[in-house]
Amino acid sequence: MSERLQPGDPAPDFTLPDADGEEISLSAHRGRKVIVYFYPAALTPGCTKQACDFTDNLDLLAREGYDVIGVSPDKPEKLAKFREKEELRVTLVSDPSKAVMEEYGAFGEKKLYGKTVTGVIRSTIVVDEEGKVERALYNVKATGHVAKIIRDLGLSETA
């Protein structure tokens, strides 16, 4: 199992294809804060709720200087279906090898219905403008997580 990131660690750079097959790099976002969230599978109830919550709050996050990138092991074609079906506006990228997830500590052993399994650990990493980890949250809940991040970051939910 990979090490979990800690505040102050450099966020591992990555370049992954998005839903349209375009290459997205974390380093291209330098100068802005980035919320990188890892989720198990597109088009599933919890992941849909989480992606919709990020989309619903995207304007607020962008106004406060945050970009949002969702990472899953799904292929770009599935991400495109997910984006269209749910009208998502967050950037979704594909990590089928799970290499980036492992670098971020978002893939490994976890409890699922009382059993220990290996899989994607629902995680959110907040990266600052310099590319350093500001916050690293692991085993987060799909529901209510985005509202909690907004509160924890001290962002105003009103325009």
Catalytic residue among 5, 16, 36, 47: 47
Spatial CA neighbour of 69 closest among 56, 58, 81, 78: 58
Q: Is residue 108 left, alpha or beta, with left meaning phi > 0 and alpha meaning psi from -120 to 50?
A: left
Residue 144's Cβ-side half-sphere holds a number of Cα atoms within 13 Å equal to 2
User: What DSSP state is assigned to residue 47?
Assistant: H
> 120 near 107, Cβ under 8 Å?
yes
47 is catalytic: yes
Residue 101's Cβ-side half-sphere holds a number of Cα atoms within 13 Å equal to 27
Q: Which residues are catalytic?
A: 47
